[in-house]
Structure 1
Amino acid sequence: RDEITRKFDEIVDFAEVEKFIDTPVKRYSSGMYVRLAFAVAAHLDPEILVVDEVLAVGDAAFQKKCLGKMGDVAKEGRTVLFVSHNMGAIQSLCHSCIWIEKGSIRDKGSANEVVRHYFGNVTLSNSGTGLFSGLPRKRDLTGFEFLSYVLLDSHAQIVSFAQFNNPLIIRVTCHADRNISGAVLAVNWFDENGNLVNRANTRSIGMADIEIGQGNVTVDVLFPALPLIPNLYRVSIALQDGGKGYYDWLDQAIEVNIKENHNSPIRFIYGQSNGTTWIPVDFQIHT
């Protein structure tokens, strides 16, 4: 308690809860609660810091702060036990890694080796369709479940891959045990190494919170054009209550293979990194 009192201002500043300091913690959203919990734990100079999925909350700036703080703790000679599905963060932060599947150790070794093994053995689907049964999920709330997905082109035909700069529809089948209101639907794109490429949700694009009726429901996630460099990507999908947590969250559970579009004049150089996103460009030379 004395240590928390001494570092109170640092903790509040790190957790970014200054505006809510007089609000009872029981009224905090799940994201605020996790940010505060991490800030307290990280500032108490523990010999062992256990961090479980803290990067699932907060914006990119807060996640960067968390990674920086964990790095500082490790550099001081203390131990960080980092639990995450974010492969990019694991590779950048950890020297050694353990892959646990269904309560058993599947692999252990250097972080880079285990991550490569993970992506080489976790097969999702290469047919453009997939079932979510048996995949790990995060659930804070009951009454809703993602069941399956299918990839569609602009003509609503099933496709096994997407094409650069072409439209794509991810059609997700769900089941709700009851009517749900005030929900937020989110999709995050990751590259083949687990690095975040894009984060979006219904609120971020200006949509009102959504309502889902009881029974089986179909959700279409529409991308008018995919400006992603041809490669293998994975997509997370989540339905959450604005402030109470997740109804269902499947991390990197949808596999999308993006291939070159031969109807496009844009070509990519293979054998070298092209990044992840195409930014339109023109060259003008004046003499």
Structure 2
Amino acid sequence: MATDDEYNITAEEAFRFLHDVLQMECTETWIKANKVFFLGEFIRGMHYHIPFQTISGIAIPDGKRRLPTAADIKTDIFSKLGGICYQINLFCWMLLRALGFDTRLLTSDVFGQKDYHIGVIINGLTDNGSKHLLEVGSSYPSRRLIPLDFEHCSPEYSDSYMKYRFVRQGEGTVIFQHKINTVSSLARKHPGYIEGEWFSFIFYNTERSVSVSHFNTAMTSIMTVVNEDDFALTSLRCTAYPNGRLVCIKDSKLMLEDEGQEVQYSHFRSRDEFLEAFQRHFPQFTESMIRAAMKNIQFKLP
């Protein structure tokens, strides 16, 4: 199994990614002088260009899937394919370490499933004891850098159609909560995590940093074993936020956020429409990959 030493990129690779992929004009001096601002721009760039998606994993035939290596992750992110939290958040951790940030990996649980999600925290950003959460590897991400200096509850954040906050639970756990009406379909599937108008989504263990290898068992299962209760290998999903607005293909649905921050839904009427939506919104995916994913999942329209 992989060790942390394998999960490194050079500063030169990090700047090439920022310039060529995220189209950010920044230098080492600029980053050091404006760390918080840089991270905000980095988060926006990741949401714009790097999709949270299950297509590439589903396109691999059963029996041939494996946990991505560090080289796989770099290839997928540099080519704008993205992935799930394992690829996206691990890459952020790698890149920010290369730029000199004190960045750690966190264990995170989702709906009672331990180590289901990889979290990223940045230490000492604004002072010696500060902690900030960076979350871009989720289908419902936070759209900004989150300071964890609140006592019980963070401010309520509003980014495009999403409204969310963070709440402490005991010592060491911070819960990522969304307003129910912004994640209504997900909340209906997990009613036990509804608290009034809020829905508890991810539970971060903020006091326990871990190595990459900590996730080997859980992530290998998620990314190689078909589980009908888990979307990773059973649902065709691709989500990004170009210009700060949601663009999402989710099985038979296309979701587009309009100028009024309302999400408009439409349904594909044919397989050709499904393929055309990818060509229009996510052209980095080849038709052969999309067709392979459709075949492996036995994709059908309603």
The alignment's TM-score, normalised by the length of structure 2, stands at 0.27
Tell me which structure has the larger Cα radius of gyration: 1
The alignment's TM-score, normalised by the length of structure 1, stands at 0.28
* Greater relative contact order (Cα < 8 A, sep 6+): 2
